[in-house]
Structure 1
Amino acid sequence: MYLLDLFTNNVESEDEAEAACAVVLTPPLSLEGGLAAELRPANLAQRVLSLFLNVRPGSDLSHFQLPATFNLPKSQLQLYGEGVYCAGEDLLGRCARGRDSLERLACVVAWSISTTRPPIFGFAPYNPVLGETHHVSTTSGCGGGLNVLLEQVSHRPPVTALHATDARGEVRLVWCQSPAPRFHGASVEAAVRGARELRLLRHAETYVIGCPGLLIRLFPSPACEWSGDVRVVCAESGLEAQLSYCRTRRSFLGFGGGDARCVRGRIFRSAEPGDTLCEIDGFWDRQVTRRDLATGEVSVLYDAQRAIGDLATPVVQDRKGVSASESAVVWGEVSNAILKKDWETAQQAKRRVEDTARRFAKERNDRGEVWTPKHFSLSQNKSGDWECWPLEDSVPPAPIVVPSSSSSS
């Protein structure tokens, strides 16, 4: 039985059924974050704090149920996908076009930074239901014809798999990750387990890329920021990069403060970790520079305004081709209600989706069936991290596309 069949069987009228089948696509998170600003209530900070009054420090928040008033009108699958297919520049294609291994590694670092989108305090995407998918393609003007497919391959724990390939046959990206948010009394820290594996096929190079964690501070000043260390490793070239997303940048005389959006790092040979080739410094929401220590030359490695400053919203190109499990369909009625600020309808629709998914899981368990992902294989390695591998070598073009942007390159 398809996910959409399960959801529409629970609506009470033709109007509700039509709403449940709607494909709702909303603007991606960019530097401005305008979508959340439109939904933000005046007393947001106090309302967020009230959510955690009865939550014990150390609690796992992976399945914490948020009221619809705290939801962005999109699923976590869509947020992960947007970090790959929504960009003002063809950063993945640039990785494949790098003239040497050092330049290619630097381009991979720039792409990795581009997936860091501005987090928004007080808002979170929907927790994806098991089997939910998200399938989007870019046009040739944005990302070189990149096809991206995501699937929620596990619910407890939550694990999302992503597979992306380009039309030129030069790039293949596999991204398997599982967020692990925990409440620590004054903050929520969300570590992201799993890694991204980017293959540049023409150069026979594979890059393993980590992710920063997300810190949500409740006291003394509510805020969201990316933090932690990220490694980018290419075994074939022997090159490695280490990045640090800083919680605070030291100000004059060494006191804390400054800007929480700084990123610093370096590129070096893995066999000679003390010998730095390039230094990386800047702000992931502005510019990041790269300084070549051999020549002293400083160049712009990443420009956030060009990469994520003005992003196009995906559109439906082939409605009949949209899968019943597509995120924009599964949560369509909820998102529609949130955009209209009809919170009662949003909460009811959200409860239908979640209750139906729970009933589906119970019926499967009663029959003794084991869930099998449709597009990926799933396993857990010795260190406890999840590994996902696509069942197909390439991703087909999607019925949902990202229009070309005038700033694409």
Structure 2
Amino acid sequence: MDSNLYIMEMQEITNIVLTKPFSLRDDSDSEENYCAPNLLQRLLSLLKNVRPGSDLSRFQLPPLFNFPKSQLQCYGESIYSTASSDRLLSKCNTGQSPIDRLISVVAWSISTTRPPMFGTAPYNPILGETHHVSKGNLNVLLEQVSHHPALSALHATDEKENIEIIWCHYPVAKFNGRSVEAQVHGKRQLKLLNHGETYEMNSPNLFIRILPVPGIDWIGNVNIKCIETGLEAELSYISQSFFGFGGNRRLIKGKIIDSLTSKILYKVNGHWDSTVTVKDTNNSDERVIYDAKEVITRLQAPVVKDAESVWQTESALIWSELSQAILNKDWEKAREAKKVVEERQREVMRERESKGETWVPKHFIVSQSKEGDWDCLPIQKWVPPSPIVTL
């Protein structure tokens, strides 16, 4: 029995639970508090037997530490959940010159950095799980294409703008005694097909500080490069100090260079949860290229337009009972709902192994290079519209 048959068996569940994306903390319409009480104490108790340096990739969190959505949904939201007034992706396409387009791509890349919640994490997607949502002409599809490593693939297309986005991610989390750092491996591509330009970039890493002062942030270096023009952006995501104080919270610094001449064209500066500017090194002109308040506040949850057309593999359907239990803070029911999904997944895997069957992704061709890097090539040229939409 394959995972798709298993998911079809779950269709006694008719409720599709979709929750608001994460917005800025000062946004009055931001996400609800899904956490159980005494979260820090519970987290310390959970990690007390975990050795420093341990890989947490196979570590199972109880529902007390989950918020009501899958990791696939979190990846997808960073693409399709933007304020209705935001046109960052379109600006990437309409820039008059290569440097204008790269600057817009930098702004768009920053917009995919979303505020995380301390002490909580999304569900680990099951093999074959998908998430499919449309926003206007942009159609976004994700699939969990591997379980170990936990490899997630994303394909998004806009036929009107002639834009394609391909991501291939697998996070590796390690416990360091007083903190957890999740390195997000894999690459992201943004293709502006009208201009024949492909922009490759990576993701910052998620840093969770447990002691002495709890906190969570994105850190590390992000490189964005256009293969065809040689233009490149080097960004550094900088967190606050070890003790949780200081003025460098959620800081971004960087530069835009012409890699063919090594000339610095612009300096990048700001905070990803506030505003980010670029300064022209020729004339010192400075302008805002990204305003988080305009892009990631008052975000709305997707809605189901046609429930009968929702795929049986949809994240919001697979995890609906667990998500609803977390929203209701019914932790006993949440534990049972999570156990049902995870135990059934293990059973399906055992059945597949006993038959010598190999699971094959439905929407992507997955390959690994000699260096160990993963690639996820979409099977379809264009992602079809989804019965789940967001404004």
Pick the TM interval, shorter chain: over 0.9
Task: State whether structure 2 residue 56 is matched by structure 1 residue 61.
Answer: yes
- Look up the match of 1:265: 254
Q: 117-126 or 168-177: which moved more?
A: 168-177
Say whether the 8 Å CA contact 1:196–1:210 is kept in structure 2.
yes
Distance 1:137 1:37, change over 3 A: closer
Q: 1-10 or 219-228: which moved more?
A: 1-10
Q: Deviations over 1:106-139 (max 9, x none)?
A: 1111111001000111110000000000000002
Secondary structure at the aligned position of 1:392 is classed as: coil
Distance 1:177 1:301, change over 3 A: same
Secondary structure at the aligned position of 1:285 is classed as: coil
- Look up the match of 2:6: 6
Give the whole-Å Cα distance in 2 for the aligned partners of 1:41 and 1:391.
Answer: 41
Task: State whether structure 2 residue 121 is matched by structure 1 residue 121.
Answer: no
- Look up the match of 1:106: 103
Give the whole-Å Cα distance in 1 for the aligned partners of 2:157 and 2:4.
Answer: 27
- Look up the match of 1:50: 45
Say whether the 8 Å CA contact 1:72–1:125 is kept in structure 2.
yes
- Look up the match of 1:154: 146
Give the whole-Å Cα distance in 1 for the aligned partners of 2:3 and 2:369.
Answer: 30
Give the whole-Å Cα distance in 2 for the aligned partners of 1:269 and 1:383.
Answer: 27
Give the whole-Å Cα distance in 2 for the aligned partners of 1:319 and 1:62.
Answer: 33
State how many pairs are aligned. Answer: 386
- Look up the match of 2:15: 22
Give the whole-Å Cα distance in 2 for the aligned partners of 1:138 and 1:90.
Answer: 12
Distance 1:146 1:170, change over 3 A: same
Distance 1:7 1:351, change over 3 A: farther
- Look up the match of 1:142: none
Give the whole-Å Cα distance in 1 for the aligned partners of 2:58 and 2:248.
Answer: 31
- Look up the match of 1:304: 292
Q: 109-118 or 30-39: which moved more?
A: 30-39
Say whether the 8 Å CA contact 2:204–2:237 is kept in structure 1.
yes
- Look up the match of 1:38: 33
- Look up the match of 2:164: 172
Give the whole-Å Cα distance in 2 for the aligned partners of 1:167 and 1:342.
Answer: 43
- Look up the match of 1:392: 380
Q: Deviations over 1:159-217 (max 9, x none)?
A: 00000000315200000010010111111110011010111000000000111001111
Say whether the 8 Å CA contact 2:30–2:298 is kept in structure 1.
no
Give the whole-Å Cα distance in 1 for the aligned partners of 2:241 and 2:91.
Answer: 30
TM-score normalized with structure 1 length: 0.91
Give the whole-Å Cα distance in 1 for the aligned partners of 2:57 and 2:135.
Answer: 31
Aligned-pair CA distance for 1:270: 0.8
Among 237, 250, 261, the alignment partner of 1:245 is 237
| Mapping 1:162-241, distance limit 5 Å | 162-241=154-233
Task: State whether structure 2 residue 360 is matched by structure 1 residue 368.
Answer: no
Give the whole-Å Cα distance in 2 for the aligned partners of 1:395 and 1:366.
Answer: 34
Give the whole-Å Cα distance in 1 for the aligned partners of 2:94 and 2:8.
Answer: 47
Seq. identity, %: 50
Say whether the 8 Å CA contact 1:4–1:21 is kept in structure 2.
no
Q: Deviations over 1:289-322 (max 9, x none)?
A: 1111112111111000011012121000111110
Give the whole-Å Cα distance in 2 for the aligned partners of 1:221 and 1:386.
Answer: 36
What amino acid is the match of 1:24? V
Give the whole-Å Cα distance in 2 for the aligned partners of 1:46 and 1:259.
Answer: 27
- Look up the match of 1:81: 76
Aligned-pair CA distance for 1:60: 1.2
Give the whole-Å Cα distance in 2 for the aligned partners of 1:102 and 1:112.
Answer: 15
Give the whole-Å Cα distance in 1 for the aligned partners of 2:93 and 2:58.
Answer: 38
Q: 258-267 or 323-332: which moved more?
A: 258-267
- Look up the match of 2:129: 132
Give the whole-Å Cα distance in 2 for the aligned partners of 1:37 and 1:339.
Answer: 9
Say whether the 8 Å CA contact 1:3–1:324 is kept in structure 2.
no
Aligned-pair CA distance for 1:39: 2.1
TM-score normalized with structure 2 length: 0.95
Give the whole-Å Cα distance in 2 for the aligned partners of 1:49 and 1:258.
Answer: 27
Say whether the 8 Å CA contact 1:208–1:232 is kept in structure 2.
yes
Secondary structure at the aligned position of 1:387 is classed as: strand
Secondary structure at the aligned position of 1:337 is classed as: helix
Say whether the 8 Å CA contact 1:96–1:200 is kept in structure 2.
yes
